[in-house]
Amino acid sequence: MEGGKIGRLDIPFKCLPSFHLHKVINMHTSEFRPLDVERIRKDFPIFATEPPLAFLDNAASTQTARPVVDAMDAYYDTYRSNIHRGIYRISEQATEAYEHAREKVAQLINAPRTRQIIFTRNTTESINLVAHSWGNANIREGDEIVLTVMEHHSNLVPWQLLAQRTGAVLRFLEITDEGLLDFTQFRDLLTEKTKLVAMGHVSNVLGTINPIQSVIEAAHAVGAKVVVDAAQSVPHFHVDVQQLDCDFLAFSGHKMCGPTGIGVLYGQLELLEEMPPFLGGGSMIRAVERDVSTYAELPAKFEAGTPSIAEAIGLGHAVDYLTQTNLAAIHVHEQELLKYAHQCLKEIEGITLYGPSAPHQKAGVISFNIEGVHPHDVAGILDTHGVAIRAGHHCAQPLMKRLDVIATVRASFYLYNTVEDVDRLSEGLCRAQKLMTRRK
């Protein structure tokens, strides 16, 4: 399992993230049950339509599970009210449901304390919160922030803005031609000037699973803090913040069968306690004078204004849904679809697949291009066959530049996808390839 060393810090670089251990253990005990995809699909009414939809754009946003919608409907129909302020029954019920959702999220990622879970709107807002609150207070001119060329813009632009505000310097870890991070460079990048490493756990374009735990150990060894963009990992496999020992971790509800408008920021307690508020307003204060205020305890300090109440409740139910379904089984299912998709797609004439091919280094995301066919044309033709995929730069323009492409086509899998979805994808691609190259 030891895949090498990270720079001068001599920290072992583990190729396999820890969740694979869970997977291996689970698969060899009676605990492991493959997914019952047919049953799962019944929880998503969109799949009952005819002709059936092959929804393969899960990295952008997943479908919402019925129990999630039911929980949100129940809030709107029976106890809709604001939280943390009403001295009446339904407001107390809403407060309880909202805070219960926080407990479920804390358990999902094994946060030591529930107050380390801050509800935001999405991953983007979570990262911006850290960049403003922690970043403005801790980053100075000449400090270095280490990123990678595979970052989503949400884990790049906030750091660019922070660097512009403070005079800090951004440094980038490159990737190999296979789409893995090039750790031979880490030696030069991580120095005593490094104050922060911000890295995606899983690339939304290449599907690469980065060895985040080793990165965190290496960053901590030089005294740097680490922000993990977990938008593409938490929904798909078990992530344990105590095991990772990350300083901050961000993800979104809408990528894990939950609603839009709700995201999560986890942070180390001492950091969150020291950090100044991000947004000011109601709910985040202790006492307000004309010229100055004192602030509420965590997590309220970072949740100014009326939050997304129904959405938080929905997220709590999405967490229940995923954990009851079993995240290890979801991961195995996605890996099987990925393997099958790789086999099918590599047979298509003129196709270039991007990202690693070894399954343990890749999540259920597959990006590709077909020679002579624009990705948008591929997406349009697939749409006429009832296959939904994403084509474009996927909010990762520096990565597109590194791959020397303007865009890619991307298919991404989740618990409700089937082998038939992959077959329809490859049939549609064959047609697109024939149609578009015949025209030229």
Q: Report, as residue numbers or ranges, the catalytic residues.
A: 395
Residue 193's alpha-carbon distances to 49, 222, 383, in angstroms, are 56, 8, 49
DSSP string for 12-57: EEESS-THHHHHHHHHTSTT-----HHHHHTT-GGGGSSSPPEE-B
Regarding 418 and contact with ligand C6P (CB under 6 A), the answer is: no
Regarding 62 and contact with ligand C6P (CB under 6 A), the answer is: no
Binding mask 143-162 for ligand C6P (x = CB under 6 A): ---------x-xx-------
Stretch that binds ligand C6P, among 84-92, 227-235, 268-276, 284-292 (CB under 6 A): 227-235
Select from 11, 83, 198, 231 the one that contacts ligand C6P (CB under 6 A): 231
Regarding 400 and contact with ligand C6P (CB under 6 A), the answer is: no
Nearer to ligand C6P by C-beta: 63 or 123? Answer: 123
Nearer to ligand C6P by C-beta: 155 or 408? Answer: 155
Regarding 60 and contact with ligand C6P (CB under 6 A), the answer is: yes
d(Cα 233, Cα 221) in Å, to the nearest integer? 24
Contacts of 219 (CB under 8 A, 6+ apart): 146, 190, 194, 197, 225, 226
DSSP string for 117-184: EEEESSHHHHHHHHIIIIIHHH--TT-EEEEETT--GGGTHHHHHHHHHH--EEEEE-B-TTS-B-GG
Select from 204, 326, 426, 433 the one that contacts ligand C6P (CB under 6 A): 204
Binding mask 246-285 for ligand C6P (x = CB under 6 A): ------x---------------------------------
Regarding 388 and contact with ligand C6P (CB under 6 A), the answer is: no
Regarding 122 and contact with ligand C6P (CB under 6 A), the answer is: yes
Regarding 229 and contact with ligand C6P (CB under 6 A), the answer is: yes
Find out whether 178 and 356 touch, Cβ atoms under 8 Å: yes
Regarding 26 and contact with ligand C6P (CB under 6 A), the answer is: no
d(Cα 189, Cα 435) in Å, to the nearest integer? 47
Contacts of 154 (CB under 8 A, 6+ apart): 123, 124, 127, 229, 231, 395
Smallest distance, ligand C6P to C-beta of residue 410, A:
7
Query: Which residue type, as a one-letter code, is found at position 92?
Result: E
Nearer to ligand C6P by C-beta: 101 or 198? Answer: 198
Select from 394, 399, 417, 428 the one that contacts ligand C6P (CB under 6 A): 394
Residues of this chain that bind ligand C6P (CB under 6 A): 59-60, 122-124, 152, 154-155, 200, 204, 229, 231-232, 252, 390, 394-395
